[in-house]
Amino acid sequence: MTYINRRGLITSAVAFGLLNNFSLAAEILQHSDDAPLSNERILKLLQERLDARQSLGMAIGVIDRAGRRVVTAGQLGKSDARPITAATVFGIASVTKPFVALLLADAVLRGEFAYEAPAARYLPAEVRLPGHNGHEITVLDLATHTSGLPHELPQELASRARAQSQLEARRLMYEFLSSCKLNADPGSTWSYSNLGYALLAHMLENRTGMSYAFLMRARLLNVLGLQNTSPDLTDQMKAVRASPHLASLDPSPEWHKPWMGAVLQSTCTDLLKFLEACMGRVPTPLSPAFAAMLEVDRPAPALNARQALAWHVYPYEGRPLIGHSGGGGGFAATIMFDPNARTGVVLLSNAELLQQDVAQHVLREQLPMEPIQKEFSLAPAALEAFVGEYRDGSGAITSIKRQSDQLLLLMPAGHKAPLTPDSPNSFFVRGFAGLTASFELDAHGRATVLHWTLSGKTITAHRQ
């Protein structure tokens, strides 16, 4: 493996073996027009993002026909000038979900679960999950974000749960879910749900009698040789870990959601190994489970994508890219691959801004990146004029909340995006191409109407 940072090219002793599958090698050569960007061009992209204050430190890993390589730029934190390297540990936020889905797919192949079985079958007997029109939430509904469950716990309940033990926090979550009302039959509509994946982690524990952390290590991390990936931070990992930062680049509190399975901490090197196994470039005992993750196909219209087990499948004119992104706890991560060209990319950042557009552009240069926009200076007190809930014509609610000195856009599908002003009443999302928001104001300067645009589609919503 090689990696390059702004201090120069460094070659490690680890070399990627030559492909021994000649048909696969031929397929890669046939798609040479899709070759990822060079190290030098990737480094330039990273430096542009750092200069635009979208991160303090970033790493991009690439898999192509030449092997694996990592490009890095920036530093571990605001007060830690050590450079980012291929071995730097980052939180990977919701990129943890493909790992959870892989555990599930493996458990199904072991005969421990059935996708079409009611999810409640695998939870403690006292847990009651909502249904709709006599339809129960299945395991597959949870794994494909089609359960209809909320994205997260309500803010007040989440604050209470954070102060509790893991056992008590889970009890509060179960009580909340038992009182939920679904708006449609499970399996019929897509809505991203962290709570759904929390339930999957609980189900894996309850069914196997093993803890989430033990399962993750025994059945997945150890099998794939991911020695620097863990739900818990070892002392060795802490020594080389990047510091977490909010989108504003202020220090971020650590992730703490005791009702969920822990998010993974990992390195660019380990995630490239994971991606190689997922793409079938390296056979492993988990190869059948990796393949099973892509055998499911449900629509995810809010993403303009299809939904597999955890993976999002973006069509892109009939030439799909498959991946997952996540941001939270002071970090952002994207893992993505091209199943036709057999190329892949990993992007890690020590700030919460999503950078999926960069990852896509690295894989396919013709896919656009969001232009780096100039920020408008808006006094923190002025942000309160936009905070509230807005209902669109379909009845869906989009929320605008304030986090420190920044606004957050909470979409009906559950996604959270930090807003950056570019005028007194319009905002963009750094690192997320095509997502903007603007407001109509009354005579007192208070927002009354929200217009937000995602991938060319504009939603108009009125304050409640």
Fold of 1-369: Beta-lactamase (3.40.710)
Position 158: which residue type?
A
3 state SS of 384 = helix
Outline where 229-380 has alpha helix (H).
235-239, 268-279, 287-293, 356-363
User: In the prediction, which pLDDT does 369 show?
Assistant: 87
Cross-strand bridge partners of residue 417: 409
Q: CB pairs under 8 A, 24+ apart, for 77-84?
A: 77/242, 77/243, 77/245, 77/251, 77/350, 78/243, 78/245, 78/249, 78/250, 78/251, 79/243, 80/243, 83/5, 83/6, 83/7, 83/57, 84/5, 84/57, 84/58, 84/59, 84/242, 84/350
CA gap 424, 158 in Å, rounded = 32
Main-chain phi, psi angles of 294, to 5 degrees: -105, 10
Residue whose tokens read 């797919």: 105
Non-local CB neighbours of 228 within 8 Å, separated by 6+ positions: 87, 89, 237, 266, 267, 269, 270
Question: What's the confidence (pLDDT) of residue 456?
Answer: 66
Predicted pLDDT of residue 301? 86
pLDDT of residue 90: 98
Locate 18 and state its tokens. 């030559």
CATH 2.40.128: which residues of the chain?
Answer: 380-463
- CATH top-level class for 380-463? mainly beta
Walk along the chain (464 residues) in steps of 10 and give the mean pLDDT of each run. 34 26 34 76 96 94 95 97 98 97 98 97 94 96 96 89 95 94 93 95 96 97 98 95 92 92 95 97 96 94 91 92 94 96 96 91 91 80 94 90 88 79 88 80 94 83 95
Q: Where in the chain is the domain with CATH 3.40.710.10?
A: 1-369
Q: Which two tokens stand for residue 1?
A: 């493996």
pLDDT at res. 172: 96
